[in-house]
A and B are shown apart, each in its own frame.
With several copies, the nearest count.
Chain A
Amino acid sequence: MARVVVDVVMKPEILDPQGQAILNALGRLGVAGVSSVRQGKHFELEVDDSVDDGTLAHVADTLLANPVIEDFTIRR
């Protein structure tokens, strides 16, 4: 049994309204020095050792991320 983390982020060319809103809020809060914020998704899966990397990639590629607009990384 292991914990697998999948992080999904919008492709850089797609506008990220949520990240943009956070960036604006930082300005209002008076926090200086942050030049960009992107918001993505973070998944934590409890996975049996029998599940191989191929299966995980498949899950990330078809379900957890939408490859049309998103990229993902898997950490095992």
Chain B
Amino acid sequence: MTFPGSLDDRDALRAVRLAGAEPVPLWHGEKWLSDVQAVVLPGGFSYGDYLRCGAIARFSPAMESIIDGANKGMPVLGICNGFQVLCEAHLLPGALIRNDHRKFVCRDQRLRIENVDTPWTSLYRPGEEILIPLKNGEGGYVADHRTLDELEGEGRVVARYLGDNPNGSYRDIAGISNKAGNVVGLMPHPEHAIEDLTGPSTDGLTFFASVLTSLVGQA
């Protein structure tokens, strides 16, 4: 899905392709009709990250279809800015705010995958540690304590930061899912860890391979 200001959209397409699925570029201005089976909301600065990250993009016509699809169980992965859009659209709880050190940060980040029951993480081992790029200015995950407890209690924390917390996220949260598990938001960028040539590892490819396997399994 490309919003004006999306940046990692090409990378998401590449990741889907390398995982063996057929990527289809979607445009924010169209209520999308094509029969895609899963959607990635990519990273970037939709609408310049003006106002709040994702705050303007979530009103795009295509988001109506996404919300609709998500509620019907379609797998949706929001990466970085995509995660912010999903929170703004209330498909995921909480919000993402400016990094506590107030600087943009780009670094290779270690994560622990804590929930392998989502279609996006099913091929990871529970507790698997991975290394993928993190790059954001507003990546601090916040929510009230009740929500945080609920997320943890229901096992909906998909990934947690290891080592120094890079952005002040509450409880080191790097990614979460909705109750049903089909909608996942993740601050770091698995689509940038899919080739040895360009990424710190190929650990990220499993997100895309997982969803393909889940979908094939369903079919």
Contacts and interface: CB of A to CB of B under 8 A. Distances in A.
Nearest to B47: A21
Interface centre among B48, B52, B99, B143 (most CB of A within 10 A): B52
B48 A21 contact: yes
A68 B93 contact: yes
Interface in B150-166: none
Nearest to B140: A17
Given A25-B59, A66-B88, A68-B93, A17 B100 contact: yes
Contacts of A18: 48, 50-51, 98, 102
Given A15-B142, A25-B59, A68-B87, A39 B100 contact: no
A64 B50 CA distance: 11
Interface string B82-99: 000001101001110111
Given A15-B100, A18-B51, A28 B59 contact: yes
A25 B168 contact: no
A21 B50 contact: yes
B144 interface: yes
Interface of B: 47-48, 50-52, 55-56, 59, 87-88, 90, 93-95, 97-102, 140, 142-145, 168
Q: What 10 pairs between A and B have smallest CB-CB spacing?
A: A18-B50, A21-B50, A17-B100, A69-B95, A25-B56, A68-B95, A14-B142, A21-B47, A66-B95, A22-B51
